[in-house]
Amino acid sequence: MTCGLGIVEAETVLLAADSAAASLKNPEIYNLKTAKVFKVGSYGMVYTTSYRLGQILRYETEFPEPPEHDLERFMATAFIDSIRRSLAAAEFDRGLGEHGSILVGVSGQLFAIGNELQVGSEDTPYAAVGDGRYVAYGALYALDGSGKPARERAEIALRAAQRFCPVVREPFVFVEV
């Protein structure tokens, strides 16, 4: 349905996503005004698959302020607990499962939240989610160390995903945190 990515550069996380609403199982494809990348409080987020998931994250979840230390532990506990509460309150409490993946940028770090609400960090300064992720990863890998700014690398990766994945489409939306 999408391609979203995050790049860490210095103390900033750039998040980006396409605008397609589609499925590899269905021939229909739309461009929606609803962005799959946004800021909420101290966080930047990209989500995939379910627009309802994105609405719950963006409009219904009360995220706690991140601590100065032990951010990974905080993300795996307090941050995930806030998502669980919101999903349950919205009766969308099946976890993410087929409902999508999330990238979160906060305090200069990038976290991936998977289908069992597990929190992980790549050993690279970038990550990608969605149907176009494999193409985006390839482009990001090839561009790593190129000296190009994060925004340019993100755009190249999204254009590559759009070229080789039928459910990725412009316009691309960017957020920095």
pLDDT digits (tens, 9 = 90+) for 49-79: 888 889 999 999 999 999 999 999 999 999 9
Grade residue 107 by pLDDT with cuts at 50, 70 and 90: very high
Q: What gap in Å lies between CA 86 and CA 81, rounded to an integer?
A: 9
Q: In this model, does residue 12 exceed pLDDT 70?
A: yes
User: Quick one: 4-176 is in which CATH superfamily?
Assistant: Aminohydrolase, N-terminal nucleophile (Ntn) domain (3.60.20.10)
What are the residue boundaries of the structural domains of the chain, listed by start?
A: 4-176
